[in-house]
Amino acid sequence: MSFEACAALVERGDPDRFRATMAAPLEARRVLFPLYAFNIEVTRTPWVTQEAMIAEMRLQWWRDALEEIGQGGPVRKHEVVDELAKILDQDACAQLDALVAARRWDIYSDPFEDVAHFDEYIHATSSNLMTVAVNALGAADQEAVRLVGFASGIANLFRAIPALEEAGRKPLVDGRAVAVRTLAERGLECLKRARSMKQGISKAAAPALSPAFLAKPTLEQALKSPELVANGGLGLGPARESLRFAHVSLWGWWR
């Protein structure tokens, strides 16, 4: 029942990725649901306790689990780990280990050091997950995947900023409207560049990019009205969001 448990975890904890994955072929779902369940477990780890040491230990647990999978030997019993062990190779484990390590930033209230530090965090937590998912499904232009992952990561962060700030975090290097616009422009430029490489994404790998279906409209909203980022006003509404998903499902992730 480990696979079903992973799917249920994603349904509860990550509706966008659940919707996108349910539209994928069954063989793709068997890869994507465990990866996304892993991401939920790691992402929420810094938030389930106020004790930094406990949070560090929980993240280290996942790093140790990935090391076991990468070594190809026995792995600890856990419904998500059981499924990950079926789909991850050593390179994928290394990329996910970098994702877990980057989530240490979420434990503390320190700001990002600079733009380079911010970019590194977004790539580790978003691009790495997307890259592992894509590579587990089929052939893909790695730079295109990294660009989509970065744009999607910025969009997701924009949507989470009110909650992060309420929790005492400093999620942006510069929160001024002009800086938000610049970051949104960077994300949209990444999507534009990735679209020019779309021929390098195989049909088999494409479902792993579908969770980015809200990236473009979110970034466009932030560019036009950056104040929506701080006040939690980003979003299309249920009807328009469903229409957007249908559009991307029909015409492809690059639209």
Average pLDDT, the chain: 96
Question: What is the rounded distance in angstroms from the CA atom of residue 173 to the CA atom of residue 156?
Answer: 16
Q: What percent of the chain stands above pLDDT 90? A: 95
Say which DSSP state 213 is in. G
What average pLDDT does the segment 9-22 reach?
97
The pair of structure tokens assigned to 234 is 């980003």
144 closest CA partner among 195, 218, 92, 202: 195
Does residue 11 register a pLDDT over 80? yes
Stretch 99-123: mean pLDDT, rounded?
96
Give the residue among 99, 164, 165, 88 at the shortest CA–CA distance from 126.
99
Q: What is the mean predicted confidence (pLDDT) over 52-71?
A: 97
Reported confidence tier of residue 252, pLDDT bands at 50, 70, 90: confident
| Angular region, 72: left φ>0, alpha ψ -120 to 50, beta rest | left
Kindly give the residue spans of alpha helices, DSSP state H, lying in 103-141.
Answer: 115-122, 128-137
Pairwise pLDDT comparison (254 vs 125), residue with the higher score: 125
Neighbours of 167 (CB within 10 A): 13
The rounded Cα 80 to chain-centroid distance in angstroms is: 17
pLDDT at 249: 84
Please report the DSSP string for 158-187 in residue order.
Answer: HHHHHHHHHTT----S--SHHHHHHHHHHH
Using the Cα atoms of residue 117, residue 197, residue 95 and residue 213 in order, give the sign of their dihedral. Answer: positive
Q: How confident is the model at residue 253, as a pLDDT?
A: 74
Q: How far apart are CA 191 and CA 250, in angstroms?
A: 18
Q: How far apart are CA 88 and CA 96, in angstroms?
A: 10
Predicted structure pTM score: 0.96
- Residue 16's region, left for phi above 0, alpha for psi from -120 to 50, else beta, is alpha
